Structure 1
Amino acid sequence: MRLEFHALPSEVVETIHRTGLDSYGDPVERHPSAEEGGMPCRHCLQNVPAGKPFLALAHRPFEGRNPFTETGPIYLCAEPCARATPTPTSPQVLQAEAYILRGYSPEERIIYGTGAVTPRRQLVDYAAELLNRPDIAFVDLRSASNNCFLCRIHRAD
């Protein structure tokens, strides 16, 4: 089975840039990046370039609302950027030793027993294992240290 890592959709990011509001309706925060950069944008799936501003905001990457549709902090480039092309391999911006992978139903509910802190080198294998299950519609990849949403993994069409 083929899978793809997907960045936040451009429509979502454009709405955030246009309104300046996060998932709670609060103003997004604008910060200058450090000279070395390093804040991972969830749209281009690259680190915000050194010296460029970034946005910090609360984001809920789900269409509906239920007890399992978590909201958490994310970063975006403050200036418009191109959405990363879906890729069958983990994006290069992922440099931590491990991440949380968690499977969700079509109703955006966590499938219990799927959440696991997964070493970076095993992300593709574990995501494929989860997506082979008929009860799992997608897998979210989150920071293992801060639980921030990073990207979503789907079956490739």
Structure 2
Amino acid sequence: MRIHALPTDVVERARKLAGTDEFHELRGESPGAPLRCCLRKAGVGEPLVLFRYTPTAGRGPYEELGPVFVHMLPCDGPDTVHDVPEAFRHNKRTLRAYDADGRIYEGGIAQPEELYEKIDELLNNSNVVEIQVRSVSHGCFLFSITAD
């Protein structure tokens, strides 16, 4: 499996637009906010950008728009791209699997202890090209997963 944080160009654009319009809010800090640039939780004193993002997998009526946080300053990105990031393994997660046409093929909620099993089941289906991992409580996009 391959884990995908937000694309670099999306993150760079959000940083440039931070505080310039109603869609790119500059936050002094939001400790614990899930960061989509490096796939960890924000620490104390880290300036962040909150903005609207639409993941690429869903298209047409399946396209979703929601809020995401990234670091205001450049970061090193995720520690790993082949394992679910540590910060996102310990809560229930919504998994939405998309086909090549951008339609939701399957979805569900995975408990922490079954997260890897559910991801493998979805990735082993030839109709699935991408999985979106989302927060159960807020529905926010966290990261995507594709087969290696």
TM-score by length of 1: 0.84
Q: Structure 1 stretch 67-76 or stretch 55-64: which is displaced more?
A: 55-64
What letter matches 2:96 in structure 1? Answer: R
The one of 72, 85, 97 aligned to 2:66 = 72
Alignment of 1:6-155 (within 5 A): 6-20=4-18, 26-34=22-30, 37-62=31-56, 65-94=59-88, 96-111=90-105, 114-155=106-147
Query: Secondary structure at the residue paired with 1:81?
Result: coil
Which ranges in structure 1 are unaligned for 5 or more consecutive residues?
A: none
TM-score by length of 2: 0.88
Query: Secondary structure at the residue paired with 1:93?
Result: helix
Quote the Cα distance in structure 2 between the aligned partners of 1:148 and 1:49.
Answer: 19
What letter matches 1:28 in structure 2? Answer: H
Closer, same or farther: CA 109–125 of 1 in aligned 2, 3 Å? same
Deviation at 1:130, TM superposition (A): 0.5
Query: What do the CA deviations read for 1:26-81 (whole angstroms, capped 9, x no partner)?
Result: 431111225xx211110111222211211111110117741101111111111121
Deviation at 1:145, TM superposition (A): 0.6
Query: For the Cα contact (< 8 Å) 2:17–2:24, is it kept in 1?
Result: no
Quote the Cα distance in structure 1 between the aligned partners of 2:22 and 2:54.
Answer: 13
Q: Which consecutive segments of 4 or more residues in structure 1 shift more than 2 A? A: 18-21, 85-89
Query: Secondary structure at the residue paired with 1:67?
Result: helix
- Size of the aligned set, in residue pairs, is 147
Q: Structure 1 stretch 79-88 or stretch 129-138: which is displaced more?
A: 79-88
Quote the Cα distance in structure 1 between the aligned partners of 2:13 and 2:57.
Answer: 14
Closer, same or farther: CA 149–92 of 1 in aligned 2, 3 Å? same
Query: For the Cα contact (< 8 Å) 1:141–1:149, is it kept in 2?
Result: yes
RMSD between aligned residues: 2.0
Deviation at 1:106, TM superposition (A): 1.1
Which ranges in structure 2 are unaligned for 5 or more consecutive residues?
A: none
Deviation at 1:88, TM superposition (A): 2.8
Quote the Cα distance in structure 2 between the aligned partners of 1:65 and 1:155.
Answer: 20
Query: What do the CA deviations read for 1:101-128 (whole angstroms, capped 9, x no partner)?
Result: 01001122111xx211111222221111
